[in-house]
Structure 1
Amino acid sequence: MTDPRPVIASLRNGRGLDGPGAALIAQGLADGSVSDAQAGAFAMAVLTRGTGDAGRVALTRAMRDSGDVLHWDLSGPVVDKHSTGGIGDTTSLILAPLLAAAGVFVPMISGRGLGHTGGTLDKLEAIPGFLCDQPEDAFRRIVAQVGCAIVAATGDVAPADRRLYAIRDESGTVESIDLITASILSKKLAAGIDALVLDVKAGSGAFMREDGGAQRLAQALVSTANGAGCRCSALITDMDQPLARSAGNALEVHEAIRVLRGERGPLRDLTLALAAECLSLAGRPADALEGLLDGGAAAEVFGRMVAAQGGPADLVERPDAHLPQAPVICPVPAPAGRVGHIDVTALGHAVVALGGGRVRKDEAIDHAVGLTALAKLGEEIGPDRPLAMVHAADDTAAEVAIAAVQAAYGPGDGETGPLVRERITA
């Protein structure tokens, strides 16, 4: 069968998606034999009628297999983590070297930010000389020698997803859980991993704001990954406030380094929870994780990874000497009281407006700008405790950001919920 129209019609009529149909669509997306009109009709049929559980697994596998799939011959398990996005979430920079220090391998293929959430690659590119675009032989060598590497996907990884991703945006089908699941997992599974942990955010800064939506997405991701042959579990985690105290690329790298050097707080706590979950799936004990952070082993691996990917060898020891700094740093004044609620998405947009994120994929970003010392829920604020510190390129941008941050905070009791709301295993 080479005509995609029967596959689209079957979906439209509620009969789901089978393996041959998924393979035809995925290959056609990759090689161009499925037209934009047909791709849009396929996406709309999935949105309105669904693929079914088996169809979602079939689509994920077919999109994974539309390009290169890595295979590893290493001395330990190969694991990874994926987050659905958030503000102040720089766990990947800590998690990858921590897991490598624990004896597992982490070939992390990550993305750049778009919209209000930051991207792991943007954060790493704040490090002078750091190269996210690595050829496959270098990627393999770094993972084997260091234990981890964080890179951008090449054009040969899941090309069907790259095409369908753009079609979803243009056809108004972005919110389909079946398509979101296949998109996320096709790229992750193409890295040849044995196990995957998902960090699915819920709250005012999350893609899925409500717990119910986050739970449905987590269950779809976990069941589909397991169905495709990759051990998987998910944590639904809080994004009703920024995870870290910083938001902005170089500023988050700086905070990640402090956690790697022993700093306590929610960023460390969530990283440890995700790392323990990864090790559990890999059949490894997790009791040494805190010691690997406190004793400096994870920081040493991070330093070696940075150097192997082109960055300075002494970044961990001298971050201020290497990371860019904004010329204007000023406080966000606050009235006396307590933080009752935070519009976390608005904080993300404030960073984008400063130049620290992008609205279009081709936009350049300013790695130095962002927010630090972000006030958390329930904390006292006032003349002696601003809401945050703004790091800006100029005074005008700083004034705009101050107003945006003030509008994102509201007074109240500000009760803090659990950092990990739920664990999904099937």
Structure 2
Amino acid sequence: MLIQDILRRKRDAEALDADAIHTFMRGVADGSVGDAQIGAFAMAVVLNGMNRDEAIALTEATRDSGQVLRWKDLHLDGPVLDKHSTGGVGDLVSLVLGPWIAACGGHVPMISGRGLGHTGGTLDKLEAIPGYDVTPSDARFRQLVKDVGVAIIGQTGTLAPADKRLYGVRDVTATVESMPLIVASILGKKLACGLDTLVMDVKVGSGAFMPTAEASRELAEAIVAIGSGAGTPTSVLLTDMNQPLADCAGNALEVHEALRLLGGNGKESRLYQVTRSLAQEMLLQSGLASNAEDAETRLDRALDSGEALERFSRMVHGLGGPSDLAERPEHYLAPAPFTTDVVAPRTGTVNAIDTRALGLGVVELGGGRRNAGDTIDHRVGLSQIAALGQRVDAGQPLLRLHAASQANAEAIQRQLEAAFTLGEESSVAPASPIHATLRQEDLS
């Protein structure tokens, strides 16, 4: 089958069969398909779309373009499951969720990424821990998944290699905004981990990846249908990102917060609510819990007994980090040299937060990357961020800024202050951070 013929058919809005899509993606992975052909394919998909069968085939072809992890030879005593988020600000769910699920009997081979734009990256947070190796050997990774129940690492070159090439071309050809291409990129990498089940966290709001609530819902429905259609039971929680999920943002600060939650504190927070809801869905979807009440009992026991925190500590030590991080976090997680408060210019109620602006503020401080090769300062970030609906007096802190220097802090103070909209009265109705839960049966 000629690649040119595949491109012609997609250009003319014909539906491609699975064989054609797999042929094309194999060529992307092995280099026999050129960048110009990848760009032509991506543009044809953007302009003409894909039907559901095509989107499933593209996801499967992305998954199968490299190594697909297999776990049967390890004789695991529980299901293999994972969670993925579309990203946000103060979203450190993975650091807490993976060990929590492991303490409930699951095995979580979590392949995570770095920060992208205004959103933080799980790998960047973990690299705030001295010695933590996000690129261990395959044997070490698999052994930790078996023995500890969780290992959070970066994507290897053998997992879904076609996605890396396709995404690189999309990024420079104005073809990123395509639902089937987005979903295949997200799911192809995750499903290559050989999962029994997957739960996705799709963000909605001012700090979300998708521009509107409607687009987030469309993405969530596509992920459920395509993931399940590709053979991995998949569900999605739509969660709120109209304010940072935690009251902090920045790599070392978020590791501190993860340790606090794993230690059983902060149960009133939005971060805890979202993490617990995702964990409950994972237990139900995988069969580790028979019903919601059983899931709640298992989660409470795993957290309150200290087992979840112990799993995190064992993972960190197993990947080269200190064995006593949980006992002495201040010893290992260096603070920023300069801190100052960004204060409210007048008395009022926080009625809106430009969450994206806060995330970009962390990047400006050096806590994220402007360019791919930039070095991250893990010490910097924001803490004690005021919440929606909170009443503040003039001069009261809206957040605490952690910077490498006074000059760096002063350079973005005005930007951070402008991210908060204050009103005389509250216009924010109390709402759950969980907007909806979507499963395959909800789409029929």
| TM-score bracket for the superposition, by shorter chain length | over 0.9
Per-residue deviation, 1:291? 2.8
Distance in 2 between residues matched to 1:420 and 1:25, nearest whole Å: 39
1:47 corresponds to which residue?
Answer: 46
CA contact (8 A) 1:114 1:361 kept: no
**Counterpart amino acid of 1:278?**
M
TM-score, with length taken from structure 2 = 0.94
In terms of mean alpha carbon deviation, does 6-15 or 101-110 score higher?
Answer: 6-15
**Counterpart amino acid of 2:379?**
A
In terms of mean alpha carbon deviation, does 68-77 or 283-292 score higher?
Answer: 283-292
Cα RMSD after superposing both structures: 1.0
What pairs with 1:7-156 in structure 2 (closer than 5 Å)? 7-73=6-72, 74-156=76-158
Distance in 1 between residues matched to 2:437 and 2:7, nearest whole Å: 35
CA contact (8 A) 1:30 1:159 kept: yes
Distance in 2 between residues matched to 1:94 and 1:82, nearest whole Å: 13
Distance in 2 between residues matched to 1:209 and 1:46, nearest whole Å: 20
**Aligned match for 1:330, one of 340, 347, 358:** 340
What pairs with 1:300-311 in structure 2 (closer than 5 Å)? 300-311=310-321
SS at 1:387 equivalent: strand
Distance in 1 between residues matched to 2:113 and 2:21, nearest whole Å: 25
* Alignment pair present for 1:405 and 2:416: yes
Per-residue deviation, 1:16? 2.1
Distance in 2 between residues matched to 1:382 and 1:324, nearest whole Å: 31
Distance in 1 between residues matched to 2:16 and 2:337, nearest whole Å: 55
TM-score, with length taken from structure 1 = 0.98
Distance in 1 between residues matched to 2:326 and 2:8, nearest whole Å: 56
Distance in 2 between residues matched to 1:417 and 1:240, nearest whole Å: 11
2:3 corresponds to which residue?
Answer: 4
CA contact (8 A) 1:11 1:51 kept: no
What pairs with 1:11-410 in structure 2 (closer than 5 Å)? 11-73=10-72, 74-263=76-265, 264=267, 265-285=269-289, 286-287=295-296, 288-334=298-344, 335-383=346-394, 385-410=396-421
Q: Residues 228-259 of structure 1, C-alpha deviation per residue, up to 9 Å, x if partnerless? A: 11011000000001000110000011111101
Distance in 2 between residues matched to 1:381 and 1:6, nearest whole Å: 63
Per-residue deviation, 1:169? 0.6
Per-residue deviation, 1:414? 4.4
Distance in 2 between residues matched to 1:138 and 1:86, nearest whole Å: 30
CA contact (8 A) 1:11 1:50 kept: no
Distance in 2 between residues matched to 1:59 and 1:344, nearest whole Å: 33
2:292 corresponds to which residue?
Answer: none
**Counterpart amino acid of 1:257?**
L
Distance in 2 between residues matched to 1:382 and 1:95, nearest whole Å: 36
Give the gaps of 5 or more residues in structure 2: 290-294
Poorly superposed stretches of 4+, deviation over 4 Å: none
Distance in 2 between residues matched to 1:223 and 1:324, nearest whole Å: 44
**Counterpart amino acid of 1:422?**
A
Distance in 1 between residues matched to 2:279 and 2:417, nearest whole Å: 35
Give the gaps of 5 or more residues in structure 1: none
Distance in 1 between residues matched to 2:94 and 2:433, nearest whole Å: 17
Percent identity between the two aligned chains: 50
Distance in 2 between residues matched to 1:4 and 1:423, nearest whole Å: 40
CA contact (8 A) 1:98 1:298 kept: yes
Per-residue deviation, 1:383? 4.5
Q: Residues 108-156 of structure 1, C-alpha deviation per residue, up to 9 Å, x if partnerless? A: 0001112100000000000000000111111001111100000111111
* Alignment pair present for 1:421 and 2:435: yes
Distance in 2 between residues matched to 1:261 and 1:146, nearest whole Å: 18
Distance in 2 between residues matched to 1:44 and 1:247, nearest whole Å: 36
In terms of mean alpha carbon deviation, does 414-423 or 179-188 score higher?
Answer: 414-423
SS at 1:406 equivalent: helix
In terms of mean alpha carbon deviation, does 91-100 or 290-299 score higher?
Answer: 290-299
Per-residue deviation, 1:418? 2.2
